[in-house]
Amino acid sequence: MSLKKRLGWKGIASISESIFSAPEPRNTKFIYALVRNYIFDELSRQGVVRFVQVGTNDGMGTDPLRRHVLRRGWQGLLIEPVPQAFDRLKSSYGAPSGVDFANVAIWPDEGEKTMHVVKGCDVLSSFSLETILRHEPKYDDLRSEIFTIEVPTRRLATLLVETGHSEPHVLVVDTEGCDAVVLRTYDFSSHKPNVVQFEHVHLSAEVSSDLRDWLTGLGYALLFDRHDVLALDTTRFDPALVRFCQDLLSTARAN
């Protein structure tokens, strides 16, 4: 796969329609990660943390949970639908105590669905071909590198009950443009995670706005950079800490 070096390409966030995306300094993502890791470390200090991660890929690179699972003993469920990525995921993690793996996709309808996969870059895999093609300016011929596979689909709420992971402290979703759909398959009325992270950069203004209103209505405070949103349950965290984190990111984004 040949990757074009186009001087005009400024990253996927530069063409995002999400209400959370805006021009910002390059160091904001680093600061966002520091804030997120501090929040995760706070949870670890309170005891064993339960998690669910949807769209894990191989669990390497910039994965937000890996070091907490392997170093802090977090327990939970890693979900990845692409078979090749799933095999690498299980190999990279080994067999940590209390961690399960599911080779399925999350979707409102249970059964099978066609997934688009990029050869040699399956981290971009998605049910949304349109989302994948947003990366087209980087490639010589991205369309020729895309193939399709059929993957099993499950509703998140149903899968978590069956696997015994229905009460996570942390829920992370990264599904290349399908995050809003996936989040709606989780049963927030039965259990609210302390922290929810999802990728917003591929979402439209309408969908990202609806997610903002829905999550704030559920009692979450939102922290974000150009790619991701971190939602904190305001009943589980010191309000002063939440305000400090929001102010820190706001200041970083403005400078």
Q: What is the pLDDT of residues 47-92, one digit of tens each?
A: 999 999 999 999 998 899 999 999 999 999 999 999 999 999 999 9
Per the structure, the count of domains in the chain is 1
Give the integer Cα–Cα distance in Å for 235 and 221. Answer: 10
Give the integer Cα–Cα distance in Å for 122 and 89. Answer: 12
Query: Domain for residue 81, yes or no?
Result: yes
Quick one: which of 229, 221, 225, 226 has its CA closest to 183? 229
Query: Domain for residue 4, yes or no?
Result: no
How many helical (H) and strand (E) elements, i.e. helices and strands, does the chain have?
8, 10
Query: Domain for residue 22, yes or no?
Result: yes
Residues 168/162, Cβ–Cβ less than 8 Å: no
Query: Domain for residue 7, yes or no?
Result: no
pLDDT on residue 8:
60
pLDDT on residue 194:
98
Give the integer Cα–Cα distance in Å for 116 and 161. Answer: 28
Burial of 10 (0-12, 13-18, 19+ CB in 10 A): exposed
- The model carries a pTM of 0.94
Query: Domain for residue 203, yes or no?
Result: yes
Low-confidence ranges of the chain (pLDDT < 70): 1-10
Structural domain boundaries, residue 47: 12-254
Query: Domain for residue 1, yes or no?
Result: no
Question: What's the CATH number where 16 sits?
Answer: 3.40.50.150
pLDDT tens digits for 179-199? 999 999 999 999 999 999 999
Q: Is 100 helix (H, G, I), strand (E, B) or coil?
A: strand
Return all residues near 240 (Cβ < 8 A) that are at least 6 apart. Answer: none
Query: Domain for residue 30, yes or no?
Result: yes
Return all residues near 60 (Cβ < 8 A) that are at least 6 apart. Answer: 66, 88, 92
Query: Domain for residue 178, yes or no?
Result: yes
pLDDT on residue 17:
86
Give the integer Cα–Cα distance in Å for 99 and 20. Answer: 32
